[in-house]
Amino acid sequence: MTIHPASTPIRTPPFGVTVVPATGPIGGFGAAGGNGDPAPAILVLPGGGYGHQADHEAEPVAEWLASLGIHAFVLRYRVAPNRHPAPLEDAKAAMLWIRQGSHGLAVDTSRVGVLGFSAGGHLAATLSTAVATGDAVLDVPAAVPALSILCYPVISFLDSSHQGSIDNLLGPEPASPGRDELKMGLSAERHVHAGTPPAFLWHTADDSAVPASNSLGYAAALATAGVPVELHMFPHGRHGLGLAASEEGAGQWTGLCAEWLRRMEWTG
Q: Report yes or no on 164 lying in a domain.
A: yes
User: What is the model's pLDDT at position 159?
Assistant: 80
- Kindly state the DSSP code that residue 44 receives in the 8-state scheme: E
Distance CA 20, CA 107 (A): 13
What CATH number should be reported for the domain holding residue 203?
A: 3.40.50.1820
Quick: pLDDT tens for 30-72: 443 445 789 999 999 999 999 999 999 999 999 999 999 999 9
Q: Quick one: pLDDT at residue 175?
A: 65
Report the C-alpha gap between 43 and 7 in whole angstroms: 21
pLDDT digits (tens, 9 = 90+) for 152-205: 999 999 987 888 899 999 988 776 678 889 999 999 999 999 999 999 999 999
State the CB neighbour count (10 A cutoff) for residue 110: 14
Beta strands in 136-266 (DSSP E): 148-151, 199-204, 229-234
Give pLDDT, residue 5.
40
Q: How far apart are CA 100 and CA 117, in angstroms?
A: 25
* pLDDT recorded at residue 201: 98
* 73-90: pLDDT as tens digits: 999 999 999 999 999 999
Query: Tens of pLDDT along 220-261?
Result: 999 999 999 999 999 999 999 999 999 999 999 999 999 999
Over residues 112-164, the pLDDT tens digits come to 999 999 999 999 999 999 999 999 999 999 999 999 999 999 999 998 788 88
Note the pLDDT of residue 3: 41
Asked whether residue 225 is assigned to any structural domain, the reply reads yes
Dist CA 190 CA 64 (whole Å) = 32
pLDDT(111) > 90: yes
In a domain, 194, yes or no: yes
Contact 115, 61 (CB under 8 A): yes
- What is the 3-state secondary structure of 224-255? HCCCCEEEEEECCCCCCCCCCCCCCCHHHHHH
Strand order in the sheet with 229-234: 17-20, 71-75, 39-45, 107-117, 148-151, 199-204, 229-234
Q: Which burial class, exposed, middle or buried, applies to 17 when counting CB atoms under 10 A from its CB (0-12, 13-18, 19+)?
A: buried
Residue 247 lies in a domain: yes
Predicted pLDDT at 11:
55
Residue 9: pLDDT band by 50, 70, 90 thresholds?
A: low
User: Which pTM value belongs to this model?
Assistant: 0.93
CA 199 vs CA 17, 167, 217, 221: distances in Å: 23, 27, 13, 11
> Which is more confident, 2 or 13?
13
Give the span between the Cα atoms of 54 and 143, in whole angstroms: 24
Q: Domains in the chain: how many in total?
A: 1
**pLDDT score at 53:** 94
Please give the residue range of the domain that contains residue 137.
17-263
